[in-house]
Amino acid sequence: MYENLIYELKNGTAFITVNRPKAMNALNSSLLDELYSAFSEAAGDKNVKAIILTGEGKAFVAGADISEMKDLTAIEGKAMMVKGHALMNYIESVGKPVIAAVNGFALGGGCELAMACDIRIASEKAKFGQPEVNLGIIPGFGGTQRLPRLVGAGMGKYLIMTAEIISADEAYRIGLVEKVVPPEELAGTAEKIARTIAEKAPIAVATAKSVINLGFSLDMLTASQLELEACTTPFSSEDKFEGMSAFLEKRPAVFRNR
């Protein structure tokens, strides 16, 4: 059982809802642990085909918990950052699609959490930002690296150095989110995307996710070679035979994750 989040499985999609609305869903140490456990639960459950991460109330996640961080020494703070990094890296390594349904404030560690997901869908009410320099620190859950990779170095530096909070539309304009929808359509849109991906060949989806993520830290030649090596996994799967047969036989494919 979880104290700070809600875990639900609906039609093959695991919904992980951060649930500390009184503190704007701020990430304290135990919530970081619980999120790691919830993602492990979803990763290990063969009934889960996709994962949707969202927040309860006004916030998606308004950052790391400032009241917990305030009195931490640098060493203790680093330990918390290690925990945050482990969570973000784990989300990226889960071999299932992870969609952030950003319902409200995604600030600091919350923006970093959304960026660790594969796809970000935002409510029109969502707000994004990395306001750490207001607090005398820098983004510490991977934001200095993931934000520039998503929006470019100049815009990444602009957002981190000015601490500006931006609207969902602006986040869409700069490529930080993939879609903006009215609040009442957020869950449905995220679910529809989750279902669409879940209908594809799972080994192909997982391999594509992994190659895209790993490729960012490699030079082009090595990254291309990584793609060449990785493509043998889906290419040798039963699902490849099924997908191609289904196309030629003009019928829908039935993938079995083999």
The contact set with ligand CO8 (CB under 6 A) reads 23-24, 26, 59, 62-67, 69, 77, 80-81, 84, 105, 107-109, 131-132, 135, 137, 139-141
Tokens at 36, concatenated? 């790691």
Kindly state the DSSP code that residue 17 receives in the 8-state scheme: E
Active site residue 199: no
- Closest-by-Cβ residue to ligand CO8 is 108
Smallest separation, CB 15 to ligand CO8 (Å): 22
Active site residue 191: no
Smallest separation, CB 151 to ligand CO8 (Å): 18
Strand partners, 64: 27
Smallest separation, CB 68 to ligand CO8 (Å): 7
Task: Choose between 131 and 234: whose C-beta lies nearer to ligand CO8.
Answer: 131
Q: Which among 8, 112, 170, 191 is annotated as catalytic?
A: 112
Task: Choose between 27 and 205: whose C-beta lies nearer to ligand CO8.
Answer: 27
Contacts by 14-17, CB closer than 8 A, 24 or more apart? 14/38, 14/41, 14/42, 14/45, 14/48, 14/50, 14/51, 14/52, 15/52, 15/54, 16/42, 16/51, 16/52, 16/53, 16/54, 17/53, 17/54, 17/55, 17/56
Task: Choose between 23 and 231: whose C-beta lies nearer to ligand CO8.
Answer: 23
The single residue listed with the structure tokens 């994004």 is: 128
Instruction: For residue 82, report the phi and psi dihedrals to the nearest 5 degrees.
Output: -60, -40
**CA–CA gap between residue 13 and residue 10 (Å, rounded):** 5
Task: Choose between 135 and 214: whose C-beta lies nearer to ligand CO8.
Answer: 135
Smallest separation, CB 177 to ligand CO8 (Å): 18
Task: Say if residues 144 and 115 touch (Cβ distance below 8 Å).
Answer: no
For strand 5-10 and strand 127-129, is the pairing parallel, antiparallel, or unpaired?
unpaired
Q: Which among 68, 92, 132, 191 is annotated as catalytic?
A: 132
Give which of 188, 42, 35, 41 is closest to 114, Cα–Cα: 35
Smallest separation, CB 2 to ligand CO8 (Å): 19
Cα pseudo-dihedral 220, 207, 89, 160, rounded to 10 = 50
Task: Choose between 79 and 212: whose C-beta lies nearer to ligand CO8.
Answer: 79
Active site residue ranges:
112, 132
